[in-house]
Chains A and B, each alone.
Chain A
């Protein structure tokens, strides 16, 4: 079980998360939707402790941490159990695809180079990039880079996978291959927290959808509930608007 309790984060006077509570069961794929600037990214970043909230507790399995007072060791423990896939993939420029995936295994998990290589090759096969393992990021397309980033995250065997708009920085023709990879990962049983504006994909992949606005969770339900029978007008308007503007250009 993974739990976030009373998460509060502000930037100056701007209250971004206003006491967020969230419980995640193992194997759930939770999509977070909501208007721009409502704190979706900040929520993910606080969970990974890339951002320090003023208040909030995080529980991942037997690990319990007060996020506002996490020690360096706590932070590393949190990050060992979570893995983040970024909007701009953030691969290590000076390392090949394979080295990118091996890095955490060697440095954080202290595996031997040989063991790390085996796992990394396996993960690259899994995202269909084994043939590209010796390429540097700058010689890969955005879609390929994001798939390497997914392989890098999965290689760490996280209890929770955090994905922050993994396709929104991609050219439209590259979105499909990345969504396909994420769908495959979801079906493998990973627990995921996914921020996305790709509504038709969210319908397909999520077991649960959360609508956020102004630092609050407004609605929390199954995709059917949120998309077909939303309780509030805000959610209905948002879903209608975004589905109108975001007609998918890809087919899975």
Chain B
């Protein structure tokens, strides 16, 4: 074996199309879990802010447990826990769910979505609380209901505040999907391992994966920056005169 055969740089790039065939799986997992976590996270944030009894305590416990345990462990707990739970239901109710028919991606989705929810709930809560209370009182004083105030006044401002953090959280989630192989899901990283298993070029494959995740991250960062710009209050007004104050 010669030194130049140690590292096949061409292979790093030739692997990429083969891995990218599984980009949709990665993105489905990440986008799906993200959407779920935004809705569920908002719900948890509201429960905590409104200090709803019992639910609020459960929410605190939930966030503490999820944030205090590794995502890998959570994936395994889901992967082994859900089938056990289904079997329990079968025995208890005499039903016949086929435990083996549940696709692995469901387990991965559940674990990632729940994990992401716990983190996003805190981001969302902080952003909701950052909205100036005077505006909220003014909206109530006009006769709006709580949900009208939330939707029309609080959320538009809170989303702008939360966007950078939620963006980071989403990037973390995409990288987190690389652990979905634990639930027997073939996404990009799993596909990479399969390729490497065939040709034993592990280093090249992981280099390919690194490049792919890095590029995706850069693209998402760009999109977030664009969204931020779009949401910000424009610096200067173009339409109608600035002059002509009557007073």
Interface residues of chain A, those whose CB is within 8 Å of chain B, are 48, 50, 72, 76, 79-80, 82-84, 86, 88-94, 103-104, 107-108, 128-129, 131-136, 138-139, 143-144, 147, 149, 152, 156, 177, 180
Residues facing A in B121-150 (CB within 8 A) are: 132, 134-135, 137-145, 148
- B239 and A91 contact, CB distance less than 8 A: no
- Residue A92 contacts which of B135, B145, B237, B240 (CB distance < 8 angstroms)? B135
User: A76–B234 Cα gap in the complex (Å)?
Assistant: 33
A90 contacts B245, CB within 8 Å?
Answer: no
| A76-B145, A108-B144, A138-B233 given; 17 more Cβ-contact pairs under 8 Å | A50-B140, A79-B142, A86-B134, A90-B137, A94-B157, A131-B240, A131-B244, A131-B245, A132-B242, A136-B233, A136-B234, A136-B237, A139-B236, A139-B237, A144-B245, A156-B143, A177-B247
Decide: A84 near B244, CB < 8 A? Known: A93-B132, A94-B157, A138-B233: no
Q: Is the CB of A50 within 8 A of B135?
A: no
| Cβ–Cβ < 8 Å partners of B244 in chain A | 131
Question: Is the Cβ of B233 less than 8 Å from the Cβ of A93?
Answer: yes
Closest residue of chain A to B160, judged by CB? A94
From A84, A131, A135, give the contact of B246 (CB < 8 A). Answer: A131
Q: How far is the CA of A80 from the CA of B142 in the complex (A)?
A: 6
Asked if A108 meets B143 with Cβ closer than 8 Å, knowing A135-B237, A136-B233, the reply is: yes
Of listed B142, B152, B243, B244, residue having the most chain A CB within 10 A: B142
Q: Are A93 and B152 in contact (CB under 8 A)?
A: no
Query: Of B148, B160, B233, B247, which contacts A107 at CB under 8 A?
Result: B148
Q: Indicate whether A104 sits within 8 Å of B144 (C-beta atoms), given known contacts A50-B137, A90-B138, A93-B132.
A: yes
Quote the shortest CB–CB distance from A246 to chain B (angstroms): 22
Query: Could you tell me which residues of chain B, from 214 to 247, have a CB within 8 Å of some CB in chain A?
Result: 233-234, 236-237, 239-247
On chain A, the residues within 8 Å of B160 by CB distance are 94
Q: Are B245 and A128 in contact (CB under 8 A)?
A: yes
Report the bound CA distance from A103 to B234 in whole Å.
20
Q: Which residue in chain B gives the minimum CB-CB distance to A136?
A: B233
With beta carbons under 8 angstroms apart, the residue of B142, B237, B247 that contacts A180 is B247
Contact A90 B143 (CB under 8 A): no
**B residues less than 8 Å from A83 (CB atoms):** 141-142
B138 cross-chain contacts in A, Cβ below 8 A: 84, 86, 90-92, 149, 152
Q: Which residues of A contact B143 (CB under 8 A)?
A: 76, 79-80, 104, 108, 156
- Which of B144, B157, B241, B247 makes the CB contact (< 8 A) with A143? B247
B240 touches A134 (CB 8 A): yes
Docked-complex contact A86 and B240, CB < 8 angstroms: no
A143 contact set on B, CB distance < 8 A: 247
Q: Evaluate contact between B141 and A128: CB separation under 8 angstroms.
A: no
Q: Which 7 A-B pairs have the closest CB atoms?
A: A128-B246, A90-B134, A104-B142, A90-B138, A177-B247, A79-B143, A108-B143
Q: Within the assembled complex, what's the spacing in Å between the Cα atoms of A48 and B160? A: 30
- Within 8 Å of chain A (Cβ to Cβ): is B153? yes
